[in-house]
Structure 1
Amino acid sequence: MLTDQEMQVIAERFIRRIVSKHIEPMLYNDIIKKPYGNIYSFNSKEYILTGDFNKSLMGGGLF
């Protein structure tokens, strides 16, 4: 079984693959823990840190 930290590393690698190379993605801190695994949400790092809607990723969703 994977630890929470190992799952987070996998999630960070995954979002780097699916997001444009020109945008730095970042996971939100509000992780939903389920018996079958964790559910993560993400957006661009700039949006999370500044709240500037123009820097938000569209269609990010949960995974």
Structure 2
Amino acid sequence: MGSTFNSLIGLIILALDIWAIINVVKSGGSTGSKLLWILLILVLPVVGLIIWAIAGPRGNVRV
């Protein structure tokens, strides 16, 4: 049962990381900024996702 739970958590984190990377790519930030955010999310999947959620660029935000 533990293995199934860990696999489910891993898939959820993977899906959220992919969603975050797509939003970074769609954002209006500079290319260098986008690259740094993507690298942060890829190198530190959980921590990078949390940092991106708090301070990262948003894609296609209409004000």
More strand by share: 1
Instruction: Tell me the TM-score normalised to structure 2 length.
Output: 0.40
> Computing the radius of gyration over CA atoms, which structure comes out larger, 1 or 2?
2
Instruction: Tell me the TM-score normalised to structure 1 length.
Output: 0.40
